[in-house]
Every structure is written in structure tokens, then in C-alpha cells.
Structure 1
Amino acid sequence: MPVNGPSINDLDARLSISSATSKAKDIEEGGYTGIKTPDTRPDEKVGEYEGGALRPGGMPNLLSSGSIGLLFQYAVVGLVYGLLPETIYPFMQQYLNCSGSQVAAAKQLVILPWSFKVFYGILSDC
């Protein structure tokens, strides 16, 4: 009885046809498109400042008044994610004798404000 669909015998041929990695890419035939960083302006190339830098002026000072907020933000996030959740368990479980579900809920409530950072950003940009 003839089978009208593909058979198990031609599985290798079908896989090699559908697989993009099995086909050799020929640059001369246009099978491969090279990717490069776009130029910002026609007269100025990206990465041609002082040893391949993306902008002129040297390295920024991370301790300046314009950048210190970034360092402060990372320090606060480290405290919120590292210190506060770890102090909740001993305080609530040992000192207040709370149940496990109450301790888990308190841990999530401490981290919850960071989950709303997208909405805080939208409100602060308005």
C-alpha cells in the first residue's frame, strides 16, 4: 500500500533542507549579510575616538555628582535584596513566633516595591 506522505527514509533529506545550519553560506552569492556598527554621522565614524571610544572626552568620573546616584542605587538594591529578606526569618520566626506562610508573605512584601519599578519610572517621567 503506497504512502502519500513523507516516510522515515527521507528524514535526513528533510532535516537538511529545513536546517539553516546545514547550509553553507556563500558570500559571493549573497547568502550572507555582513553586520557592522552603523555610522552616527557621515563625516564621523563610531569607535574612532581616542583608541576606539564611543564618545570623546575620556573616561567618566563615577564619583561625580552626576554619577553618584547610580552607585547609591546599586548599593540600596543590594541591601534590599540581600540584607532585609535574610533578617525577616529570624525576627518573625524566632522572636514573633509567626507561621511559615506569614514569614514567606513578609519576605515577598519587602521585595514587592522593586517589582513596581517600571510604574515608578513611568510616574517619575510624567
Structure 2
Amino acid sequence: MLDPVTMKMVDLALREDLAGYGDVTSSWTVPQGAQARAHVVAREEAVVSGLDVAEAVLWRVDASCGWRALATAGEEVAQGAVLAELWGDARHLLAAERTLLNFLRHLCGVATQARRFAQAVAGTGALVV
């Protein structure tokens, strides 16, 4: 389980993204009770970070949704790599999607850039802090 501060960030992000109304488009276009499966796919080479936060987003929207991480924190992945698989109520998956991807994009981006900085100074005695 994530620390309380991170969970508060998840809750605030969901509140902002769903604005108390849920995913309005999905509620009008996706049949109630429809089930779906989805993959989280890397759009570019990256260092994986934030899968635990993404999972928390999904479970905050619907604890009955399934999540299976297919990558690990710190792993370097190629463009097109599947990072996770999700399944459950289609409306709920779509409601969680934007917030989940926003966290992943940001956290993977930070991890990727930090790795580049660390590699750039490797062997120099300098530290990235």
C-alpha cells in the first residue's frame, strides 16, 4: 500500500479529473456492465516508475478491477513494451485511464531523465541528487 501522502495525491487527481461526475462520455457510450481488458503500453523508451501509483488509481475507481504489472520499477523498456494489463468494468477502466496515464507519464519521465543524468556523470565522481 502507498503512503498516505501519495494516496491523497491520487484522490485529489481523481477528484480533479472526474470532477464528481465520473467519465461522462463513457456513461453515454459504453453499455452498463460491459467488461473490458486493456494494456498500458510504453509510447517511447523509458525507465519504469509509478506502476504502484497507477494501480492505486485504478483501485480507487473500482477495487474489483484487475491489475497485473508486466514490468518492474527501474526497468528500462523499449517503445511498445506492455507495462501492465487491466481488466474489469469498461466504464471504470475508462474513468481511471487519464489519471492513471498522467501519473505514469510523469513518473516514468522523471525516472528516465534521472537515469540519463546519472549515466552522463558516471565515472566522474559527480552525483545526481
TM-score bracket for the superposition, by shorter chain length: under 0.3
Say which one has the larger Rg: 1
Normalising by structure 2, what TM-score? 0.26
The alignment's TM-score, normalised by the length of structure 1, stands at 0.26
Kindly indicate whether structure 1 or structure 2 has the higher relative contact order, using CA contacts under 8 Å at least 6 residues apart. 2
